[in-house]
Amino acid sequence: MKEEQLLQNTIDFVKSELKNAEGGHDWFHIDRVYRTSQLLLKHENADGMVVLLAALLHDIADPKFHDGDEHIGPETAKKFLVSQGVEQETIDHVVLIIEHMSFKNSLDKNRASFSSKELEIVQDADRLDAIGAVGIARAFNYGGFKNRELYDPNVPPNLNMSKEEYKKSSAPTINHFYEKLLLLKDKMNTDTGKKLAQERHRFMELFLERFFKETGIQK
């Protein structure tokens, strides 16, 4: 199959799988990660097909919305790629990327066994979508979806949460900036990703400054 056709089939598949997804993890998130991956590929030397397929399939079944099941996403992606007759080596690489993508997995030392330029690129593109203006929108959307408070001056951010605590936490959304989003710029892999992250990071800082000014909270 021609590469163009495979990408189009993948786009169609992902769009239909994510029809009812929550706003921060819907098709438009995938589309942004896909386009940012294309941008990063212009400056980084990597297997473009692996990057683009992984970008499209990386959130096909987020464990957060599947009772914590971490296998369903990689499995769904694999089945799809097999059905498209994609070569085994590409399938294996894309599946490994999906398995290793999330921030939580990267905190898990047992999972840190795989790395590749292609993983670095898709991970950067996904992280860039969690910061800046879009990142702010996604965080509050996710908090709303979980019925969280916007902020609560009596609940300070917890910077030392274990993986388990982080998963169970129902802290106000503003805390998420300190617990995760402001840390992302230093976790970028590629030079291009680092550059893009700086600007988005600065915008979040400005947002937080205004937020605390308007709410009259002393930090």
Footprint of ligand ADP (CB under 6 A): 24, 62, 102-103, 126, 130, 135, 138-139, 142-143, 173, 176, 181
Nearer to ligand ADP, 44 or 126 (CB): 126
Nearer to Ni ion, 102 or 175 (CB): 102
Structure tokens that stand for 105 in this block: 């997995």
In the chain the first and final C-alpha atoms are separated, in Å, by 57
* Least distance in angstroms from the C-beta of 73 to ligand ADP: 10
The interface partner of residue 142, options being ligand ADP, Ni ion, none and the CB cut-off 5 to 8 Å by kind, is ligand ADP
* Least distance in angstroms from the C-beta of 97 to ligand ADP: 13
- Identity of the residue numbered 147: N
Residue with tokens 């169970």: 168
Nearer to ligand ADP, 93 or 148 (CB): 148
* Least distance in angstroms from the C-beta of 218 to ligand ADP: 23
**Residues 11 and 38 sit within 8 Å (Cβ to Cβ):** no
Q: Does 124 bind Ni ion (CB under 5 A)?
A: no
- Identity of the residue numbered 161: M
Nearer to ligand ADP, 62 or 99 (CB): 62
Nearer to ligand ADP, 9 or 144 (CB): 144
Q: Residues touching Ni ion: how many (CB under 5 A)?
A: 2
User: How far, rounded to the nearest angstrom, does the alpha carbon of residue 35 sit from its chain's CA centroid?
Assistant: 14
Alpha-carbon distance of 196 to 208, in angstroms, equals: 19
* Least distance in angstroms from the C-beta of 142 to ligand ADP: 4
Nearer to Ni ion, 17 or 59 (CB): 59
Alpha-carbon distance of 82 to 31, in angstroms, equals: 22
* Least distance in angstroms from the C-beta of 215 to Ni ion: 29
83: region left, alpha or beta (phi > 0 left; psi from -120 to 50 alpha): alpha
Alpha-carbon distance of 194 to 187, in angstroms, equals: 8
* Least distance in angstroms from the C-beta of 9 to Ni ion: 20
**Residues 60 and 33 sit within 8 Å (Cβ to Cβ):** no
The interface partner of residue 177, options being ligand ADP, Ni ion, none and the CB cut-off 5 to 8 Å by kind, is none
**Residues 146 and 170 sit within 8 Å (Cβ to Cβ):** yes
Q: Which residues bind Ni ion (CB under 5 A)?
A: 59, 126
